[in-house]
Amino acid sequence: MFEHQRHKPPQELARPRELVVVCAPLRSNVNLSRIARAASCCGLQRILCTGHAKLDRRIARDGADTLQIETHRTLPPVLIELRQQGYRLVGLEQTTDSTNLHEYQFERKTALVIGNERTGLTPDLLKHLDDVVEIPVWGMPFSYNVATATTMTLYEYCRQFPKG
Amino acid sequence: MFEHQRHKPPQELARPRELVVVCAPLRSNVNLSRIARAASCCGLQRILCTGHAKLDRRIARDGADTLQIETHRTLPPVLIELRQQGYRLVGLEQTTDSTNLHEYQFERKTALVIGNERTGLTPDLLKHLDDVVEIPVWGMPFSYNVATATTMTLYEYCRQFPKG
- H/E run at residue A88: strand A88-92
Q: Per the domain annotation, does B4 fall within a domain?
A: no
- Cβ contact, residue pair B4, A120, below 8 Å: yes
Least confident of A5-9, A135-139, B137-141: A5-9
pLDDT at residue B132, as a whole number: 98
- Cβ contact, residue pair B11, A43, below 8 Å: no
Residue B74 has pLDDT above 80, yes or no: yes
Which percentage of chain B shows pLDDT scores above 90? 90
Q: Per the domain annotation, does B11 fall within a domain?
A: no
Give the integer Cα–Cα distance in Å for B62 and B48.
17
Residues of A in contact with B11 (CB under 8 A): 136-138
Which percentage of chain B shows pLDDT scores above 70? 100
Residue A139 has pLDDT above 80, yes or no: yes
Residues of A in contact with B164 (CB under 8 A): 138
Q: pLDDT of A39-60, one tens digit each?
A: 999 999 999 999 888 899 999 9
Q: Per the domain annotation, does A88 fall within a domain?
A: yes
CATH of the domain at B106: 3.40.1280.10
Task: Write down the number of H helices and E strands in chain A.
Answer: 6, 7
**Integer CA distances (angstroms), A14 to A8, A17, A62, B42, in order:** 19, 9, 22, 33
Nearest Cβ partner of A4 from B65, B93, B156?
Answer: B93
pTM: 0.97
Q: Per the domain annotation, does A17 fall within a domain?
A: no
Q: Per the domain annotation, does A121 fall within a domain?
A: yes
Residue B7 has pLDDT above 80, yes or no: no
Residue A63 has pLDDT above 90, yes or no: no
- Cβ contact, residue pair B139, A8, below 8 Å: no
The number of CA neighbours under 13 Å toward the Cβ of A42 is 29
- H/E run at residue A63: helix A63-66
Helix%, strand%, coil% for chain A, nearest 5: 30, 20, 45
Residue A129 has pLDDT above 80, yes or no: yes
Residues of B in contact with A124 (CB under 8 A): none
Residue A147 has pLDDT above 90, yes or no: yes
pLDDT at residue A21, as a whole number: 98
pLDDT at residue A9, as a whole number: 85
Rounded mean pLDDT, A100-104: 98
Give the integer Cα–Cα distance in Å for B84 and A103.
36
Rounded mean pLDDT, A26-36: 94
Give the integer Cα–Cα distance in Å for A152 and A35.
11
In total, how many domains does chain B have?
A: 1
Rounded mean pLDDT, A76-86: 97
pLDDT at residue B63, as a whole number: 87
Rounded mean pLDDT, A92-101: 96
3-state DSSP call for residue B132?
Answer: strand
pLDDT at residue A76, as a whole number: 96
Q: pLDDT of B12-65, one tens digit each?
A: 999 999 999 999 999 999 999 999 999 999 999 999 999 888 899 999 998 888
Closest CA–CA distance from residue A106 to any residue of chain B (Å) = 16
Task: Establish, for the pair of chains A and B, how many residue pairs have beta carbons separated by less than 8 Å.
Answer: 201
Q: Per the domain annotation, does B151 fall within a domain?
A: yes
Residue type for A77, please? P
Nearest CA in chain A to B38: A144
Q: Per the domain annotation, does A9 fall within a domain?
A: no
* β-bridge partners, A22: A48, A113
Residue type for B89, please? L
Q: pLDDT of B149-164, one tens digit each?
A: 999 999 999 999 999 9
pLDDT at residue B8, as a whole number: 82
- Cβ contact, residue pair A137, B44, below 8 Å: no
Q: Per the domain annotation, does A19 fall within a domain?
A: no
> What domain range includes position A74?
25-160
**Could you tell me the pLDDT band of residue A8, with boundaries at 50, 70 and 90?**
confident
Strands (E), chain B: 19-23, 46-50, 68-72, 88-92, 99-100, 110-114, 131-134
Average pLDDT, chain A: 95
Q: pLDDT of B95-128, one tens digit each?
A: 999 999 999 999 999 999 999 999 999 999 999 9
Nearest Cβ partner of B126 from A2, A98, A158?
Answer: A2
Cβ contact B58:B82 at 8 Å: no
